[in-house]
Amino acid sequence: MRTRILLAALLLLFGSTTTLFSGQAKAKRTLDIYFIDTEGGAATLIVTPAMESILIDAGFVGFEGRDAKRIEKAMQQAGVTAIDHIVASHYHADHYGGIPELARLVPIKHFYDHGKMTSLADDKQFAERYAAYQEAAHGRTTALKPGDTIPLKPLTDGPAIRMVCVSSNREVIGGGKAAANAECSAAITKPEDPSDNARSVGLLLQFGAFEFLNLGDLTWNIAQRLVCPINNLGRIDLYQSAHHGNNTSNDPVLLHSIRPTAAVMNNGPKKGGSVDAIKWIRETSSVKALYQLHRNVDAKPEQNAPAEFIANLEEQPDEAYMIVASVDPAKKAFTITNGRTKVTKSYSLQ
């Protein structure tokens, strides 16, 4: 009798556990984007409703593995144990430098970049850093070209999800059939950027009606070609400010063309977050909120976003707070949460 009672209890427990985990899996309906503080570097973790993970950049190397550990912590919060796809937007140390350290902490399945290189005038340590990156990838990297897509698992009971490359290696996506973009009448060009920033991989993530744009460090002239003379991007819900919010990017013509609802700036306390770029974004009529990973400590309070939209107010905070966006297509909205204040605000999809 005791054996039968014990067996029945175990079956009941197993059934409840299965239901619990099944319920958790079914409850995952959102697409989540984690903007990780890498002190002025870049690391953006995306987790789809299918629990597939995409990491765009991995911050700096060094600092006792600081950025790789912060990415791992974000992964734990997101409930993923591996990176399915990692994209090195370009070969600057604050973007791809942390990939080898991250690869020692967690499995990384697929590596993407703008193509192989043998030298880079921007970085005297390029040979060493690039070799470490290739070693982490076991030499198996995929060069993205404008129009390429990163294959993502389709959802059986949700909207379509797609990640397309819109810029890479100084080229941009084309094929737009819209009329000439009237915003381009105000376009100006700047001196050509010879750095690897201009080769940045730019990515457009589409999840149902939601669109998120991450252009890495893509600079002014190349970024402008995405919307001039024809707007090949359309309207964007969430925009990650290019080049950490520097005024070498974030062209007002681009901003007025994509008309984002909200923007997140992955700046550091003394890197990026330029007064010009903050002003340009905040003055874009469609923008409901600009979030900053850090307060620009060299700027006046009114030249930053309001404190409630800044994740890290101090130059060296005790804890590195994230900004997290979450998209629920059923609600036709997305939310953004400031990790420091724990306040969540909701924004309607366009």
CATH topology for 29-348 is Metallo-beta-lactamase; Chain A (3.60.15)
Cβ atoms 59, 69 nearer than 8 A: no
Token code pair at residue 185: 């009448």
Burial grade of 271 (CB within 10 A; 0-12, 13-18, 19 or more): middle
Residue-level pLDDT, tens digit, the chain, 350 residues: 444 444 444 444 434 333 333 333 345 689 999 999 999 999 999 999 999 999 999 999 999 999 999 999 999 999 999 999 999 999 999 999 999 999 999 999 999 999 999 999 999 999 999 999 999 999 999 999 999 999 999 988 889 999 999 999 999 999 766 789 999 999 999 999 999 999 999 999 999 999 999 999 999 999 999 999 999 999 999 999 999 999 999 999 999 999 999 999 999 999 999 999 999 999 999 999 999 999 999 999 999 999 999 999 998 877 899 999 999 988 999 999 999 999 999 999 98
In angstroms, what CA-CA distances link 223 with 106, 181, 229?
A: 33, 14, 12
- The whole-number pLDDT of residue 25 equals 39
- The whole-number pLDDT of residue 175 equals 75
Task: For residue 229, say if its preceding peptide bond is cis, omega within 30 degrees of 0.
Answer: yes
| Strand 108-113 versus strand 83-87 pairing type | parallel
- The whole-number pLDDT of residue 16 equals 38
- The whole-number pLDDT of residue 155 equals 87
Token code pair at residue 74: 């974000």
* Length of the chain in terms of residues written: 350
Q: Which helix or strand (DSSP H or E) is residue 98 part of?
A: none
Tell me the one-letter amino acid at 99.
I
Question: Cα–Cα distance between 212 and 237 in angstroms, integer?
Answer: 6
